[in-house]
Structure 1
Amino acid sequence: MKSEIITINVAQTAKTLSFLAALISSLIAVIGIVSLAAGVETTIAFSYIISITVNSNGGKLFLFLCLPVLTFAATYISVAIFCIAYNFVAKKTGGIAFQTKLQ
């Protein structure tokens, strides 16, 4: 069966992918906090449009705690822009076509 994606729900797609990215970021943050507590020298930076880098342990802890929220926001904005652009382009080109097989 041939199917075609002609529109993508912007808010739902951005929200779903942002929660997934924040979940993965939370796991990374937990590992980073445990490493920081164990005295392992860690490097933490958040780079999206602007880069946030910290050197002190307090700053590292704060950035680890904020990492899931920053990741959620950055992912939401990026995915929303992508979906809006896709919906615009799909109107002109017909969207992505794929074929599925019923079992």
Structure 2
Amino acid sequence: MRFGDNKTYYEHHYNHEHHDHMICTECGRVIEFFSAEIEALQDQMAVNFGFKPTHHSLRMWGLCSDCQATSDESHTAPPGAQPRVRVRTAVH
């Protein structure tokens, strides 16, 4: 799995429940999480737009609690850490 930070992460998929990721741009820590509320919202958005998803992935980049505690200055993602996607205005 690649998160756009020039590193490769390995994760087994066999018998592994769906989950999403938070990636620390300072130390590289990857936090796996699941949220029924987020899943329900994504399902509802697909219905609203008549979209039939086959799979999805949610990734958030930022600072983990440890890196926030050790740093007073603001951080930005290192070069290449942001996903390579086309950004479009949200549709309401």
Do the two structures share a fold, i.e. TM-score over 0.5? no
Greater fraction of residues in helix: 1
Which entry has the higher C-alpha Rg, 1 or 2?
1
Q: Which has the higher contact order (CA 8 A, sep 6+)?
A: 1
TM-score normalised to the size of structure 1?
A: 0.21
